[in-house]
């Protein structure tokens, strides 16, 4: 294989493995803020126990996120040097802003969140938890802004020619608020909230099935389900907005999502199926006019097909792969709405904790957001191909000029072995934590935390 293919494999490998963790940190961050907030408000120590337990899970996911994240920061330079020279002026600023505004905030207050329980007062600790959560969200903002610029470049001009050409910022805020950035940010955040909420849901449902830590599990499940349902419903709204943006700004990608070759008015939405790339058609059940309606809010609006948007094969992404990834994400998205609504309905009626099949479903629900988050990013990135920066720079032109195939291969082997080891250890420790359960001692807050709040107690 050549350097280009190997570099793409390396990037896919390292980014997908990394992306297991940040959504969990963002989502669990929200959950921790809610738990501690409820504790401060109600004085009920069950919330203290919950916050303490989920903080430990958070610490584990955070450590994995940091360890695998530093790879990403350097990989643009190691494998995509030509790309880095081309976009550094624009893309680099977003990465540097992420460091200054997000990572310092996150890692600084993480110390108080993890080790400060008995060193600072309740309110200060709650403040630190909020800051960690905010930092995690800031980091999502800057990285999605950077990536969105690669999807819908804005606020720049090209300086120089040929090999010396590069993008330079002309308008910082136009670059930050590129046409897709806010929709994609919201979409990414909803996915992250789902990831965190359903992890809480899953572990709590497991305890209920095993008849352990019941009080803890019921309260965690209730909160998780609540956040999960809201995030899943918001995800529907944001997914729709995102897709409309893709239709407008990246018609080739939208056509690939749906396997649409011919520009059609009253374009149908394919529920699931297969793209026959050879004969340029899609096979599967369709809802007539639905794609036109979703993309342009009008059943008769024409939707651009691939033959018009990208007439030659070399300007198209791999259609069937993009189609399948996109449909997998959408399918799971609807699945999560169904699971959380049914779960909430049963909870409302008071019968959730007796319905064992439902609890089993909730145990498995943790996989949903993880798979959908991965599939969604794959669809977004594969769907942008053959471009690394939409319309400006091809992926094949972005790769480092000086690296060799066998060196990249060694790096892939090295990263793969390290990541397999880390993942095994992560699962082992997470499982250990889950089997161990919450600490009973946390029901009686000690030290500075024991001080009753004014008005509470």
For 46, 256, 307, 402, the CA distances from 372, given in Å and listed in that order, are 32, 18, 29, 36
Cβ closest to other proteins, residue 5 vs residue 410: 410
Q: Which residues pair with 434 in a beta bridge?
A: none
Instruction: Give the nearest distance from C-beta 297 to other proteins in angstroms.
Output: 37
d(Cα 198, Cα 204) in Å, to the nearest integer? 10
Cβ atoms 452, 101 nearer than 8 A: no
Instruction: Give the nearest distance from C-beta 147 to other proteins in angstroms.
Output: 15
For 282, 316, 318, the CA distances from 313, given in Å and listed in that order, are 17, 5, 9
Cβ closest to other proteins, residue 136 vs residue 223: 136
Instruction: Give the nearest distance from C-beta 367 to other proteins in angstroms.
Output: 23
Cβ closest to other proteins, residue 133 vs residue 295: 133
CB-based contacts of 284, cutoff 8 Å, min separation 6: 270, 271, 272, 273, 274
Cβ atoms 286, 270 nearer than 8 A: yes
Cβ closest to other proteins, residue 166 vs residue 240: 166
Q: What are the tokens at 415?
A: 């990263």
Cβ closest to other proteins, residue 357 vs residue 402: 402
Instruction: Give the nearest distance from C-beta 122 to other proteins in angstroms.
Output: 15
Instruction: Give the nearest distance from C-beta 252 to other proteins in angstroms.
Output: 28
Instruction: Give the nearest distance from C-beta 96 to other proteins in angstroms.
Output: 4
Cβ closest to other proteins, residue 338 vs residue 451: 451
Burial of 97-127, coded b for 16+ CB within 10 Å and e otherwise, reads bbeebbbebbeebbebbeebbeebebeebbe
d(Cα 304, Cα 317) in Å, to the nearest integer? 15
- Give the number of other Cβ atoms within 10 Å of residue 215's Cβ: 11
Cβ closest to other proteins, residue 288 vs residue 447: 447
Instruction: Give the nearest distance from C-beta 456 to other proteins in angstroms.
Output: 24
d(Cα 117, Cα 112) in Å, to the nearest integer? 7
Instruction: Give the nearest distance from C-beta 146 to other proteins in angstroms.
Output: 10
Instruction: Give the nearest distance from C-beta 396 to other proteins in angstroms.
Output: 16
Cβ closest to other proteins, residue 14 vs residue 324: 14
Cβ closest to other proteins, residue 159 vs residue 338: 159
Please compute Rg for the chain using Cα positions.
23
Cβ closest to other proteins, residue 61 vs residue 250: 61
Which helix (H) or strand (E) covers residue 241, if one does? helix 214-249
Cβ closest to other proteins, residue 4 vs residue 209: 4
Q: Which residues pair with 159 in a beta bridge?
A: 166
Q: What is the DSSP string of 202-228?
A: HHHHHHHHTT-SHHHHHHHHHHHHHHH
Instruction: Give the nearest distance from C-beta 107 to other proteins in angstroms.
Output: 4
Instruction: Give the nearest distance from C-beta 203 to other proteins in angstroms.
Output: 17
Q: Whole-angstrom distance between the N-terminal and C-terminal Cα of the chain?
A: 67
Angle between helices 21-42 and 181-209 (to 10 degrees): 70
Q: What is the DSSP string of 318-387?
A: -HHHHHHHHHHHHHHHHHHHHHHHHHHHHHHHT-GGG-HHHHHHHHHTTHHHHHHHHHHHHHHHHTTTTE
Q: Which residues pair with 166 in a beta bridge?
A: 159
């Amino acid at each position: 294989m050549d350097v280009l293919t190997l570099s793409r494999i390396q990037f896919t490998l390292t980014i997908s493995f990394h992306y297991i963790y940040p959504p969990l940190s963002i989502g669990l961050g929200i959950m921790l803020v809610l738990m501690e907030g409820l504790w401060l408000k109600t004085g009920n120590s069950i919330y203290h126990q919950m916050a303490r337990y989920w903080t430990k899970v958070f610490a584990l996911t955070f450590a994995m996120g940091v360890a695998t994240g530093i790879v990403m920061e350097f990989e643009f330079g190691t494998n995509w040097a030509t790309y880095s020279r081309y976009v550094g002026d624009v893309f680099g600023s977003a990465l540097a802003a992420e460091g200054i505004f997000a990572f310092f905030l996150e890692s600084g207050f993480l110390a108080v969140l993890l080790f400060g329980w008995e060193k600072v007062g309740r309110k200060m600790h709650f403040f630190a938890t909020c800051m960690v959560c905010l930092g995690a969200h800031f980091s999502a903002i800057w990285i999605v802004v950077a990536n969105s610029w690669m999807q819908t470049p804005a606020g720049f001009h090209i300086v120089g020619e040929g090999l010396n050409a590069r993008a330079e910022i002309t308008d910082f805020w136009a670059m930050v608020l590129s046409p897709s950035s806010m929709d994609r940010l919201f979409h990414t955040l909803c996915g992250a909230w789902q990831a965190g909420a359903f992890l809480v849901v899953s572990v709590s449902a497991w305890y209920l099935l095993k008849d352990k830590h019941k009080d803890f599990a019921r309260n965690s499940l209730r909160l998780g389900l609540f956040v999960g349902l809201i995030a899943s419903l918001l995800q529907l709204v944001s997914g729709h907005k995102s897709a409309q943006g893709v239709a407008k700004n990246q018609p080739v990608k939208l056509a690939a999502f749906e396997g649409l070759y011919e520009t059609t008015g009253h374009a149908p939405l394919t529920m699931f199926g297969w793209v026959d790339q050879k004969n340029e058609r899609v096979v599967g059940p369709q809802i007539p006019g639905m794609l036109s309606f979703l993309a342009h809010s009008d059943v008769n609006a024409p939707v651009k097909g691939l033959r018009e948007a990208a007439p030659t094969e070399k300007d198209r992404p791999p259609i069937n792969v993009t189609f399948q990834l996109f449909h997998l994400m959408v399918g799971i998205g609807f699945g999560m709405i169904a699971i959380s609504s049914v779960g909430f309905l049963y909870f409302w009626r008071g019968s959730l904790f007796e319905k064992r099949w439902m609890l089993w479903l909730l145990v498995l629900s943790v996989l949903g957001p993880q798979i959908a988050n991965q599939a969604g990013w794959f669809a977004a990135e594969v769907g942008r191909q053959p471009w690394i920066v939409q319309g400006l720079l091809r992926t094949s032109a972005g790769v480092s000029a000086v690296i060799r195939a066998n060196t990249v291969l060694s790096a892939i082997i090295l990263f793969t072995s390290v990541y397999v080891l880390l993942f095994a250890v992560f699962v082992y420790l997470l499982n250990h934590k889950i089997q161990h359960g919450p600490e009973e001692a946390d029901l009686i807050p000690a030290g500075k935390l024991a001080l009753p709040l004014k008005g509470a107690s």
